[in-house]
A = this chain, B = another copy of it.
């Protein structure tokens, strides 16, 4: 039974290539199960997974919950509203309480960078980071990579040129994609307004540009990030109209190139802002494949972390 180097998935920074490849390979086998009439397996029967969402979320929470149910695990949902968090309990005490209830795996989303890692320090459950502030969102990057491998029919992402567009600075999706893609041998360019680019980006070995034409020249794949409308208030870009003018992906802009771009977006979409409707719905868009692969990737991660945990326990027992 193959196992990973770690029984938590906190981010893709530092995760070895063979681990990422194992997750992707496993996800492809679960993807086949999802195409069956009864897409359910008993793999995690009797296991309990807590979906611990301190930030609101639709698609990530639902995707994890579906993955858990298709694996026959028991899901418990926790959301901040209606919880003791409002009674002033520390995150640490909340978490330790959860652990005392013998939860096998905790899927955590929290606005604080490092919150997922923090949890591993004082509880024994497997931890999956479902987004910690602007830090990482590893399952999103994994499903992006799986979707590229599937759509482009690739054995490896080596040499593939991916441009990540938009608000890179505040994006956990960008950060996880950069780490994962670099590890798998892809070339990455980030592109957006200079106020939305991270200062430390060069150290990550990515190309940086503030000119969308440079990005289009460079890339086979466009991963178009959501413009978070609340950033505008902070003065980080002038207006949605101006953003669209300089960085919005329109058919007209794409048609200026002979190549066929693969179009990705983690959702939810602002149609007419960072991406036009006809681009989002075009035949080279893999946005909905990303969603389906998300369930498969999360099944793979849930199972592999459990196997890794069990192997660790057997070793320390024997």
> Using a CB–CB distance below 8 Å, which chain A residues touch chain B?
34, 37-40, 45-48, 53, 56-59, 62-63, 65-66, 69-70, 74, 76, 78-79, 81-90, 93-94, 96-102, 229, 267-271, 288-289, 291-292, 294-295
Report 8 cross-chain contacts, Cβ distance below 8 Å, ordered by A residue. Answer: A34-B102, A39-B102, A48-B69, A56-B84, A58-B83, A59-B97, A66-B74, A87-B268
Asked if residues B56 and A65 are in contact (CB atoms below 8 Å), the reply is no
Determine the residue in chain B with the shortest Cβ distance to A230. B87
Residue numbers in B under 8 Å from A45 (CB-CB):
38, 40
Copies in the complex: 3
Determine the residue in chain B with the shortest Cβ distance to A35. B102
Asked if residues A58 and B46 are in contact (CB atoms below 8 Å), the reply is no
Determine the residue in chain B with the shortest Cβ distance to A288. B100
Asked if residues B84 and A268 are in contact (CB atoms below 8 Å), the reply is yes
Nearest-neighbour CB distance to chain B for A172, whole angstroms, equals 15
Residue numbers in B under 8 Å from A84 (CB-CB):
56-59, 267-268
Residue numbers in B under 8 Å from A89 (CB-CB):
267-269
Asked if residues A66 and B48 are in contact (CB atoms below 8 Å), the reply is yes
Asked if residues B56 and A291 are in contact (CB atoms below 8 Å), the reply is no
Residue numbers in B under 8 Å from A98 (CB-CB):
62
Residue numbers in B under 8 Å from A40 (CB-CB):
45-46, 74
Nearest-neighbour CB distance to chain B for A55, whole angstroms, equals 9
Q: Cα distance A58–B78 when bound, in Å?
A: 8
Question: Which of B48, B69, B97, B270 meets A88, CB within 8 Å?
Answer: B270
Determine the residue in chain B with the shortest Cβ distance to A294. B101
Residue numbers in B under 8 Å from A79 (CB-CB):
82
- Given A90-B269, A96-B288, 7 other A-B residues pairs in contact with their CB atoms under 8 A: A56-B82, A56-B84, A58-B84, A69-B74, A81-B82, A89-B268, A101-B294
Asked if residues B100 and A292 are in contact (CB atoms below 8 Å), the reply is yes
Asked if residues B38 and A101 are in contact (CB atoms below 8 Å), the reply is no
Asked if residues B58 and A85 are in contact (CB atoms below 8 Å), the reply is yes
**Given A76-B65, A82-B81, A229-B88; A97-B56 close (CB under 8 Å):** no
Residue numbers in B under 8 Å from A78 (CB-CB):
58, 62
Asked if residues B291 and A93 are in contact (CB atoms below 8 Å), the reply is no
The listed residue with most B CB atoms (<10 A of its CB), out of A34, A93, A229, is A93
Q: Cα distance A271–B87 when bound, in Å?
A: 12
Asked if residues B87 and A62 are in contact (CB atoms below 8 Å), the reply is no
Asked if residues B268 and A88 are in contact (CB atoms below 8 Å), the reply is yes
Asked if residues A102 and B268 are in contact (CB atoms below 8 Å), the reply is no
Asked if residues A291 and B82 are in contact (CB atoms below 8 Å), the reply is no
Determine the residue in chain B with the shortest Cβ distance to A228. B87
Residue numbers in B under 8 Å from A87 (CB-CB):
268
**Given A40-B46, A291-B101; A93-B268 close (CB under 8 Å):** yes
Q: Cα distance A65–B98 when bound, in Å?
A: 13
